Structure 1
């Protein structure tokens, strides 16, 4: 049997489904959760919920949830860890308990559908394809094979997710993404796609990106920067994307203090650098990090850093020193190789 058929048979034996998104879910994760819920409904599961941890702070992600009217709830440990018999647990766009989610390590998982690099993925049903560009591509394959009704809302969600995850088919796109997009194109709401593509940007996000520009330090083709303390976690990948367009720069790392953790986002166009592996190597002992060759992220609890001082400015300086040292060591770059462009402009 195919993966889609196997999934439907597993869902048909369940009485309820809890879909857990990764922390700070993006359109690929959200669209995949939405569509898995639809497949579960057609398999006979009436009680379904989508949970997430962290924040939906990126303006594009907020617009995605609001315009597509996605019913999503904050993570509830009791719902996940005290499930009754017949209650299924699913991960979409991530794969392991305790990694980029708040599920306890060792929690049994029933369904995993993901495209991110990972080892040791375990579940009753696993479709883990690192060779595709988006998890939404896999879900599109499922609905086509199963004959699931695809309305304009679902088609729009999937098509936008694929486009966003691949940066308009320029990053990590495979023939599977083009095939999925071709199928979805005629079904999607084009006006809604336009609205999702150009949401308003908050002033806090603009300020955070401006801080990243001011704080940049370049080591050859590698740029390191930070935004200090911010409530705009999703300004980090936006800053990393923007700074990656700087002439002479092919790899960017941007960090910020968000709540009680240090968040990092990275981008590269250098085929010699795998930023997912760089972040894993740099921070696996103190936090979690990883992702694709071209894009990745990391999260480190503030922990002992916060015990040094209550002064945010001093705290940022301490964090910057430690994060920079770990990144440069992982990249095999000597600390003296860097030049602060902000000071030289």
Structure 2
């Protein structure tokens, strides 16, 4: 399919072909953009099929995403594999069939996404719309609502608005004309009071001891940066939350928050102000012991605990790499292409490192 008008024509034809007897399942890797896009698709299909369920394949643990689901009344269900046979049609939004193991044996009738195309595009879907040049799938869904002359409810408009905000980092990292126009249109329909409540729901009370641990362990690094070591944590989400907090500290140009997840894997979450390429920094420091990379302002590295030399504390190993390899290694790789994003860089991070 070609331009926007072609997509709209195809959507109208697809919608007209929906059958009242069909039971649809919209599968998502739950993050704000996916949740909002699924809610919009459900609205588009409303009253034209027998049922539409939104089903997530990952756990939702981030408090802002939990607040989004609660305040916007998003009817999302956890995946129960044994119940998939009760559906006769499947859709996936803000993701593609090759993005998650749970999608492997499912034939999708609809795919809508904004992430890069795979080497071999999916050909089984009756409706296929993947546009990597758009900043958020929520922007694509907003254009469909406009083209179908569907006025979103305040809750749906708020969800789509929040989806665009998170995937474009409020237009600091990505976003083009399609995203701006969608955001402006949605702003006229959204509930700004509810949006503020979601934006303020960043932390759980149980997380507060982690911040104390981070403050006590904070060590300055070169270039007005710092490292905080949290030790054993139950989820990388906790590292992300603490790292995001430190981006609000004046004068701190970048932060690396690290810990051990599941007793076996060291995860380092990087955040920066854009003054230096954080994705390149992550790659330079840890490329030889695990996976690392990201964008200019955010990145992630992870490697097995077994990669740390015997007798060396994990926090000392991380700090040593940040202190001694950073500048030298970045100079060496400066001419190389940008590192591929790791799962954390699909803000709110593809599999609930934003959910």
Q: Using structure 1 for the length normalisation, give the TM-score.
A: 0.71
* Pairing 1:183-222 to 2, within 5 Å after superposition: 183-199=185-201, 201-213=203-215, 214-216=217-219, 218-220=221-223
Query: What is residue 241 of structure 1 aligned with on the other side?
Result: 244
Larger displacement relative to structure 2 (102-111 or 154-163): 102-111
Distance 1:104 1:280 in 2: 33
Give the match for residue 24 of structure 2: 17
Judge conservation of contact 2:97–2:103 (CA < 8 Å) in 1.
no
CA displacement at 1:66 relative to structure 2: 0.6
Q: Which residue of 1 aligns with 2:154?
A: 152
Alignment correspondent of 1:41: 46
The separation in 2 between residues aligned to 1:284 and 1:6, in whole angstroms, is 47
Shift of 1:286: 6.5
RMSD: 4.3
How far apart are 1:183 and its partner, in Å?
0.9
Cα offset, 1:143, TM superposition: 0.7
Structure 1 residue matching 2:146: 3-state secondary structure: helix
The size of the alignment, in residue pairs, is: 317
Per-residue CA deviations over 1:172-227 (Å, capped at 9, x if unaligned) read 23333321122112211222222222237323323334434424563546655443
> Matches of residues 1-345 of structure 1 in structure 2 within 5 Å?
2-10=6-14, 12-13=17-18, 15-22=22-29, 25-41=30-46, 44-79=48-83, 86-90=88-92, 92-97=93-98, 99=99, 101-105=100-104, 107-117=106-116, 119-120=118-119, 122-123=121-122, 124=125, 125-199=127-201, 201-213=203-215, 214-216=217-219, 218-220=221-223, 223-231=226-234, 233-246=236-249, 250-259=253-262, 265-270=269-274, 273=277, 275=279, 292-296=295-299, 317-318=313-314, 321=317, 332=329
* Other structure's SS at 2:102 match: coil
Change (3 A) 1:149 1:56: same
Q: 1:107: Cα distance to partner?
A: 4.8
Please give the secondary structure, in 2, of the residue aligned with 1:191: helix
Whole-angstrom distance in 2 between the partners of 1:28 and 1:94: 10
Structure 2 CA distance for aligned equivalents of residues 126 and 282 of structure 1: 37
Post-superposition offset of 1:77:
3.1
For residues 209 and 194 of structure 1, do their structure 2 counterparts lie closer, same or farther at Cα, with a shift above 3 Å needed? same
Conserved? CA contact 1:51–1:75, under 8 Å = yes
**For 1:47-86, what per-residue CA distance to the aligned partner results, in whole angstroms no more than 9, with x for missing partners?**
2222224432222111111111111111223445x576x4
Q: 1:323 to 1:66 in 2, by over 3 A?
A: farther
Tell me how far apart the structure 1 counterparts of residues 302 and 57 of structure 2 sit (CA, whole Å).
13
Q: Work out the CA distance in 2 between the residues paired with 1:169 and 1:61.
A: 19
8 Å contact from structure 1 (residues 109, 122) kept in 2: no
What secondary structure, in the 3-state scheme, does the structure 2 residue paired with 1:267 have? Answer: strand
1:167/1:137 CA distance change after superposition, 3 Å? same
The answer (yes or no) to whether the contact 1:137–1:180 under 8 Å persists in 2 is yes
Q: CA deviation at 1:142?
A: 1.2
- Residue deviations 1:102-149, cap 9 Å, x none? 415475444333333463363324433333332211111111112223
Find the residue that maps to 2:111 and give its secondary structure.
strand
Q: Which runs of 5+ in 1 are unaligned?
A: 306-313, 335-345
Cα distance in 2 for residues equivalent to 1:105 and 1:324 = 41
How many angstroms does 1:231 deviate by? Answer: 3.9
Rounded Cα–Cα distance in structure 1 between residues aligned with 2:301 and 2:86: 29
TM-score, normalized by length of structure 2?
0.70
